[in-house]
């Protein structure tokens, strides 16, 4: 039986990697991938904590639900990135700074 | 009644006429109407028509027409004289560039006078009274390019304003006492004034009380109005100056309209006067008559002599009012209207000729100065005869109208004085002396103008002088007919038979003293005839008359008792110096205060300016500066970079988390 702490460590590591990718990458796709990392870390936590709810399988079900949602979110995000690219001819988030004052 | 409205309607367009014909036609129609009214209404009960004018609160003012003996006597008198003057003016004013203005003013004048006569309401009378004053102002200043005329009309206007104050005061007193201005309800037979009682120093009418002094005061106030209008002492000085207007206008003012208005007013409100006021009236009248008579003795301007003669005769009328002989007063008003109008128009004819002569010969002399005339009898016979008749009427020689009316006044004043005794006898005696003075000055005028030789003969030939044009001549003839006794009374010696006297209530407060009825006329006439003869000796030929000019009294009279000078020094100079004082006061005190306030204000302004600049502006700037700094600071966060925002969010969340974690631990 793998202790819970391992799951948690892996999940924290995944989250930190994802966070790093989101904050440091110069490519929108890579940022998206970072987000997926963080999402998967959260899902991993769901599954891990699901062992305390064996009867209703709440954690597992919620993980499935989140995966489906993540897939939809990725689809939408990619579409946005595609539109951003056609508009700016670029997907570097540091260049797209029209929100500045 | 339709007759009345017709009369009003016809007259009103006369006001706006632009041609002499129209003016004459309208005044002729109004004469016709007033004659019809006169025939219909004389000695009949009065007619009183009213209509509501306006309402203030619960009190409404009615205006209307009142025709009693007094007004129907005045109507044909005013319109008749006005008609004759109109006809006369067609020639006299011929060629004047502002002729249409003249007709319009004349129309307005007659309109306001007729309105004054028939008005039934004190307010309405006051309005017409003002209109009369105003139109006389216009007419006196008709030749407005002459400075003297402008001065004269201003003087007339101001003097009349003084009187108007009195009139208005009287109206207000009466209104506050009786709450009505209606002439009939005030002064009628059972009028409020008659019913009001004076007991123990309180003047009571119905529910209203006033100190009795107000009764006297109201009487005096009304009398002040009449004094100004009828040119009595001390407001008489406007009348001689009013001679600056055209002669026909002077004649109208003097004979029937303006000056008669004052006497008419006294007759209208006669019941109001108590004994004190009546004595004041009588004394004023007597004094004015005497004073004007003495002044007329020495004047050389033909119109001025006549002007002072008018003042003197008006003094007689006022005196008669004062002694209670209002009927005689009105009688004298009527007779005087005719002969004074005639005298003025005759003088106008002479001046007309003299002015023509002046134009033709190019000589420079005063066409109104009687010292330049003389011997005109042969050249202007009609004028001479008519003026002589008028003068006889003025002197009150028997067989003329003046004899009837003037002796009526004299006799009644003697009777009045006899009833009172003491100092009151001064009044009739001064009146008698005045009538002798009248005889002297008017015969001086006649003899100087018409007898002897023409005094300018050496300089100009006489062939230029001729009779006045027909329009003027026939007017004179008509007027002279009215100066004779049959028009007024069939008995040339007894004034009591005159229909005018019989048309008015007799004064009942004096006993008839037969002796006076013989002695007074006899004395007046004998001495008058003597004086006329004396005049003839002195002035009838070109021999130098006795010279009085060194005499102090002569100068006193020549200078018109120094009234003008006194008024100038006392009032004009007083007002001037007072205004100079006020000017200085303004300059130093008022301006000083204003300037002081200005300086203080500037000081305050400087302080508040400094305060504004340093404190208020400083605060505002500080806030602005802070906001700017803050903005700059916050601006730095707004990079537009997604990842920096995320880092910030992460840091904030971590901070919160750590804070939460450690506070929980603590």
Helix (H, G, I), strand (E, B) or coil at B323: coil
pLDDT band at B5 (very low <50, low <70, confident <90, very high): very low
Q: Which fold has domain A4-88?
A: Helix Hairpins (1.10.287)
Among residues B394, B374, B399, the alpha carbon closest in space to that of B384 is found at: B374
The burial class, CB within 10 Å (0-12 / 13-18 / 19+), for B438 is: buried
- In this structure, the dihedral spanned by the alpha carbons of residues B449, B451, B457 and B460, taken in order and rounded to 10 degrees, is 50
A-chain CB neighbours of B635 within 8 Å are 101
Q: Which chain B residue is nearest to residue A99, measuring alpha carbons?
A: B640
Nearest to A101 among B638, B643, B646 (CB): B638
- The reply to whether residue A96 touches residue B646, judged by beta carbons under 8 angstroms, is no
Report the chain B residue with the minimal C-alpha distance to residue A95. Answer: B641
Q: How many helices (H) and strands (E) does chain B have?
A: 27, 5
* A95 inside 8 A of chain B by CB: no
Would you say the C-alpha torsion A50, A55, A58, A61 has a positive or negative sign?
A: positive
Per-window interface: A 35-64 vs B, CB < 8 A: none
Q: What percent of chain B has pLDDT over 70?
A: 64
Q: Is B193 exposed, middle or buried (0-12, 13-18, 19+ CB in 10 A)?
A: buried
Chain B residues whose beta carbon lies within 8 Å of the beta carbon of residue A97: 639-641
CA distance B652 to chain A (A): 15
pLDDT for res B7:
47
Q: Encode pLDDT of B490-518 as tens digits.
A: 555 555 555 665 556 554 445 555 666 66
pLDDT (0 to 100) of residue B652: 93
Asked if A30 has any chain B CB less than 8 Å from its own CB, the reply is no
| B chain contacts of residue A99, beta-carbon cutoff 8 Å | 638, 640
Judge whether A93 is closer than 8 Å to chain B, CB to CB.
yes
Query: Cβ contact (<8 Å) for B642 and A93?
Result: yes
Question: How would you list the strands of the sheet with B202-205, edge to edge?
Answer: B197-199, B202-205, B208-211
**B520 alpha-carbon distance from chain centroid:** 33
Q: Is the ipTM of this complex over 0.90?
A: no
Q: Nearest Cα to B260, choosing from B399, B112, B476?
A: B112
Which sign does the torsion angle of CA B105, B106, B112, B113 carry? Answer: positive
Q: Give tens-digit pLDDT for B195-254.
A: 566 655 566 665 566 666 777 777 777 788 777 777 777 677 777 777 777 777 777 777
Q: How far is B651 from chain A (nearest CA, A)?
A: 12
Tally of residues, chain A: 101
**Percentage of chain B with pLDDT > 90?**
4
Put simply, the answer to whether A100 touches B642 (Cβ < 8 Å) is no
How far, CA to CA in Å, does B51 sit from each of B66, B72, B113, B252?
A: 12, 20, 21, 31
Q: Which of A93, A98, A101 sits opposite B643 (nearest CB)?
A: A93
In chain B, what residues touch A93 (CB-CB under 8 Å)? 641-643
pLDDT digits (tens, 9 = 90+) for A37-56: 999 999 999 999 988 888 88
Q: Which of B53, B47, B61, B55 shows the shortest CA–CA distance to B5?
A: B47
Q: Which of B122-131, B363-372, B555-564 has the lowest mean pLDDT?
A: B555-564
Tokens for B625, please give them. Answer: 């500066």
Q: What is the pLDDT of residues B171-192, one digit of tens each?
A: 887 777 777 777 666 666 555 6
Are B372 and B455 a contacting pair, CB within 8 Å? Answer: yes
Residue in B closest to A98 by C-alpha? B640
Q: Enumerate helices (H) and strands (E) in chain A, giving the number of each.
A: 3, 0
Provide the mean pLDDT of chain B.
Answer: 73
CA-nearest residue to A16 within chain B is B650
Cis check: omega of the bond before B234, within 30 degrees of 0: yes
For chain A, domain boundaries: 4-88
Residue A24 contacts B, CB cutoff 8 Å: yes
Contact at CB, A22 and B635, closer than 8 angstroms = no
**Cβ density class B387-425: b for 16+ within 10 Å, e for less:** bbbbbbbbbbbeebbbbbbbbbbbbbbbbbbbebeeebe
A15 chain-B contacts, CB cut-off 8 A: none
Task: Count the neighbouring beta carbons within 10 Å of the beta carbon of residue B322.
Answer: 26
The whole model's pTM is what? 0.66
Chain A and chain B share a number of CB contacts under 8 A equal to 29
């Amino acid at each position: 039986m793998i202790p819970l702490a391992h799951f948690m460590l892996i999940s924290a590591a995944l989250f930190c990697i994802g966070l790093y990718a989101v904050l440091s990458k110069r490519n929108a796709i890579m940022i998206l991938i970072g987000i997926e990392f963080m999402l998967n870390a959260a899902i991993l936590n769901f599954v891990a904590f699901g062992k305390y709810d064996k009867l209703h399988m709440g954690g597992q079900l919620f993980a499935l639900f989140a995966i489906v949602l993540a897939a939809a979110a990725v689809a939408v995000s990619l579409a946005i990135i595609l539109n951003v690219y056609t508009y700016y001819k670029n997907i570097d988030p540091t260049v797209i700074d029209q929100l500045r004052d | 009644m339709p007759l009345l409205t017709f009369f009003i309607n016809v007259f009103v367009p006369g006001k706006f006429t632009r041609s002499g014909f129209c003016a004459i036609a309208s005044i002729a129609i109004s004469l016709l109407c007033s004659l019809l009214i006169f025939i219909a209404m004389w000695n009949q009960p009065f007619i009183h028509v009213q209509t509501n004018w306006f309402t203030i609160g619960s009190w409404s003012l009615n205006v209307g027409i009142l025709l009693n003996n007094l007004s129907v006597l005045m109507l044909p008198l005013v319109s008749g004289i006005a008609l004759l003057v109109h006809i006369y003016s067609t020639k006299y004013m011929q060629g004047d560039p502002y002729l249409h203005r003249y007709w319009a003013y004349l129309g307005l004048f007659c309109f306001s006078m007729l309105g004054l006569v028939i008005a039934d309401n004190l307010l309405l009378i006051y309005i017409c009274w003002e209109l009369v004053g105003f139109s006389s102002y216009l007419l006196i200043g008709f030749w407005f390019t002459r400075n003297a005329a402008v001065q004269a009309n201003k003087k007339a206007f101001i003097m009349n304003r003084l009187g108007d104050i009195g009139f208005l005061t009287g109206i207000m007193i009466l209104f506050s006492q009786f709450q009505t201005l209606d002439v009939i309800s005030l002064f009628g037979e059972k009028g409020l004034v008659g019913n009001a009682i004076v007991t123990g120093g309180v003047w009571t009418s119905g529910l209203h009380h006033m100190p009795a002094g107000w009764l006297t005061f109201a009487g005096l106030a009304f009398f002040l109005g009449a004094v100004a209008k009828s040119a009595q002492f001390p407001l008489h000085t406007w009348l001689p100056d009013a001679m600056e207007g055209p002669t026909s206008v002077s004649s109208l003012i003097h004979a029937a309209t303006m000056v008669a208005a004052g006497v008419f007013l006294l007759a209208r409100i006669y019941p109001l006067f108590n004994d004190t006021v009546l004595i004041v009236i009588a004394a004023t009248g007597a004094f004015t008559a005497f004073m004007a008579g003495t002044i007329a003795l020495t004047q050389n301007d033909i119109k001025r002599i006549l002007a002072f003669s008018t003042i003197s005769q008006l003094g007689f009328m006022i005196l008669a009012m004062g002694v209670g002989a209002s009927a005689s007063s009105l009688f004298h008003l009527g007779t005087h209207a005719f002969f004074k109008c005639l005298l003025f128009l005759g003088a106008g004819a002479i001046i007309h000729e003299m002015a023509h002569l002046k134009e033709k010969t190019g000589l420079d002399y005063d066409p109104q100065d009687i010292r330049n005339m003389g011997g005109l009898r042969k050249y202007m016979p009609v004028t001479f005869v008519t003026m002589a008749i008028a003068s006889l009427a003025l002197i009150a020689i028997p067989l003329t109208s003046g004899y009837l009316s003037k002796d009526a006044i004299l006799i009644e004043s003697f009777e009045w004085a006899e009833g009172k005794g003491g100092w009151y006898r001064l009044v009739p005696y001064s009146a008698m002396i005045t009538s002798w003075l009248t005889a002297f000055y008017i015969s001086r005028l006649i003899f100087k103008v018409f007898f002897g030789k023409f005094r300018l003969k050496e300089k100009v030939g006489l062939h230029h002088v001729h009779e006045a044009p027909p329009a003027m001549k026939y007017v004179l003839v008509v007027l002279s007919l009215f100066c004779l006794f049959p028009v007024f009374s069939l008995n040339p010696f007894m004034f009591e038979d005159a229909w005018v006297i019989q048309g008015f209530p007799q004064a009942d407060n004096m006993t008839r003293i037969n002796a006076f009825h013989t002695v007074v006329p006899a004395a007046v006439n004998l001495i008058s005839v003597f004086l006329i003869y004396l005049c003839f000796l002195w002035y009838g030929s070109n021999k130098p008359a006795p010279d009085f000019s060194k005499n102090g009294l002569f100068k006193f009279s020549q200078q018109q008792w120094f009234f003008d000078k006194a008024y100038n020094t006392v009032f004009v100079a007083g007002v001037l110096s007072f205004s100079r004082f006020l000017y200085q006061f303004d300059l130093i005190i008022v301006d000083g205060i204003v300037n002081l306030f200005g300086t203080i204000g500037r000081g305050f302004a400087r302080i508040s300016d400094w305060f504004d600049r340093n404190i208020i502006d400083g605060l505002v700037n500080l806030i602005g500066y802070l906001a700017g700094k803050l903005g700059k600071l916050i601006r730095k966060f707004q990079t537009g970079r997604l990842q920096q925002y995320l880092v910030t969010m992460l840091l904030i969340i971590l901070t919160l988390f750590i804070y939460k974690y450690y506070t929980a631990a603590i």
